[in-house]
Amino acid sequence: MDNNIIDTTVVYLKKDNCYLLLYRNKKKNDINKNKWIGVGGRREAHESIDECAIRETKEETGLNIHSLKCAGEVLFIDDQLKMMMYVYEVTDFSGVLIECNEGELRWIPIKDIYDYPMWEGDKAFLPKLINHENYFKMKLVYSQGELISVENY
């Protein structure tokens, strides 16, 4: 396994007690295929984590973030890669939602999000985000697509 850690962002846009989630069903060879996730992606070499969150949100949703604060970090490790996901909940945004080329965007009531197919590890950190816990740090370890370890630190 490559020891390099890839920096990524995941943004949960919040409006009317709903999160904007992306059902990943359009890309080939998508690690997130058929899962509901927040919007976001990989940080480019020239940008900060916050800039990545703003850019990825604009690219995937057409929406403009006006202010944001990182809520936590999740180190994601599986058989092929290591990613540090910086997690955001954003309420200060504007614009018109566009069609995303990676999947279907939908406003999902927060109380219902666990009814949708998602990574098991997301179920570990989402309560911390939803309940606005202090800045959280977590490590999720997967093997062959199955969550085998959750560590808070």
Taking only the tens place, the pLDDT of each residue in 49-92 is 999 999 999 999 999 999 999 999 999 999 888 999 999 999 99
What confidence category does residue 3 fall into, taking pLDDT thresholds of 50, 70 and 90? low
- How many angstroms separate the CA atoms of 94 and 129, rounded? 21
- Name the pTM for this structure: 0.94
pLDDT at residue 31 in the model = 78
- The continuous run of DSSP H or E covering 126 comes out as helix 122-130
Taking 3-state DSSP, the helix, strand and coil percentages for the chain, each rounded to the nearest 5, stand at 20, 45, 35
pLDDT, tens digit, 9 for 90 and up, residues 5-44 = 999 999 999 999 999 999 988 877 777 788 999 999 999 9
Which helix (H) or strand (E) segment is 137 a member of? strand 136-143
User: What domains sit in the chain, N to C, each tagged with a CATH number?
Assistant: 5-152 (3.90.79.10)
Predicted confidence band of residue 1 (pLDDT cuts 50, 70, 90): very low
Whole-Å CA distances, 39 to 3, 30, 125, 151:
25, 14, 15, 24
